[in-house]
């Protein structure tokens, strides 16, 4: 009889981007970048600001709306031009904001044999650059729709990768790469209370520089709280 081979289960570590891997929010920073570059009009900026107010106050809002308002400012440009603008934004604005402790933790996860996945509500071209910068093995982010010629339509293609959708994006990515049942969520890192659903599904959840609401959740559930801004606290786990 042939010996039964034990199935390999791939451990995965998931990193949130905004507020976790970087000290900032890429969405609001990109909006300011477009406005300062005179690509976005004051009227469109005001509409985005109102969206942000509704989000903060938990008033009715639509996740797609903010992304579509941003891409509306880029209407009339080719996909190559839009991607180039996002690449410049990443290199000029986001690159200095990466937390050294986040990059060190990615390296430690790799040393433990884990696959590292970046999951974010940001736009895919930005997430792709972020994953490359961090040394992540892959990314899952918000995709914008393209037409038959490859140009951006300005509409969101599929769900915005935020809140509970982050774990669903992890499942899709891992199932496609490893096959259903062949992976486990070993660790997850997030900063916002909307990341709690993702963190709760990990064997080792970490609240990174968390907001007040996530601090309460983390303390109640016994999740480690990491301060990746403190020079003497490198967030080792």
CATH number, domain containing residue 69: 3.40.50.1000
Q: Is 232 part of a structural domain of the chain?
A: no
Q: Is residue 72 part of a domain?
A: yes
Q: Is residue 42 part of a domain?
A: yes
Give me the mean pLDDT over the 14-25 stretch: 97
Task: Write down the pLDDT at residue 125.
Answer: 96
Residues 6+ apart with CB under 8 A from 41: 73
Check residue 231 and give its pLDDT. Answer: 65
In a domain, 5, yes or no: no
CA-nearest of 109, 149, 146 to 15 is 109
- CA atoms within 13 Å, Cβ hemisphere of 54: 13
- The predicted model gives 81-96 an average pLDDT of 97
H/E segment holding residue 68: helix 63-72
**Domain count for the chain:** 1
pLDDT for the residue numbered 209: 97
pLDDT in tens, 89-140: 999 999 999 999 999 999 999 999 999 999 999 999 999 999 999 999 999 9
What number is the average pLDDT over the span 173-194?
A: 96
pLDDT on residue 235: 41
Does residue 2 form part of some domain? no
* pLDDT at site 234: 40
For a pLDDT cut of 70, what percent of the chain falls above it?
93
Q: Beginning with the edge strand found earlier in the chain, give each strand of the sheet holding 204-208 in spatial order.
A: 138-142, 115-123, 10-16, 183-190, 204-208, 225-226
Look at residue 161 and tell me if it is in a domain: yes
Give a yes or no: residue 181 inside a domain. yes
Domain that holds residue 58: 10-226
How confident is the model at residue 66, as a pLDDT? 87
Q: At what angle do helices 124-134 and 79-89 cross, to 10 degrees?
A: 40
Say if 235 falls within a structural domain: no
Which stretch of DSSP H or E encloses residue 200?
helix 196-200
Q: What is the average pLDDT across 155-178?
A: 95
């Amino acid at each position: 009889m042939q010996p039964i081979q034990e199935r390999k289960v791939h451990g995965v570590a998931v990193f949130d981007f905004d507020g976790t891997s970087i000290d900032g929010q890429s969405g609001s920073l990109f909006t300011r970048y477009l406005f300062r570059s005179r690509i976005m009009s004051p009227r469109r900026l005001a509409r985005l600001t109102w969206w942000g107010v509704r989000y903060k106050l938990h008033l009715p809002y639509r996740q797609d709306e903010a992304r579509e308002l941003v891409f509306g400012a880029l209407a009339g440009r080719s996909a190559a031009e839009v991607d180039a603008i996002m690449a410049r934004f990443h290199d000029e604005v986001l690159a200095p904001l990466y937390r050294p402790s986040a990059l060190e933790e990615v390296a430690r996860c790799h040393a433990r044999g884990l696959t590292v996945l970046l999951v974010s509500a940001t736009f895919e071209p930005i997430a792709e650059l972020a994953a490359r910068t961090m040394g992540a093995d892959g990314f899952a982010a918000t995709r914008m729709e393209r037409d038959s010629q490859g140009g951006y339509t300005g509409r969101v293609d599929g769900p915005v990768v935020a809140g509970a959708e982050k774990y669903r994006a992890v499942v899709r990515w891992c199932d496609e790469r490893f096959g259903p049942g062949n992976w486990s969520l070993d660790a997850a890192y997030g900063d916002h209370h909307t990341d709690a659903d993702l963190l709760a599904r990990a064997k080792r959840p970490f609240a990174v520089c968390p907001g007040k609401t996530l601090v309460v959740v983390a303390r109640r559930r016994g999740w480690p709280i990491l301060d990746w801004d403190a020079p003497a606290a490198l967030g080792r786990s």
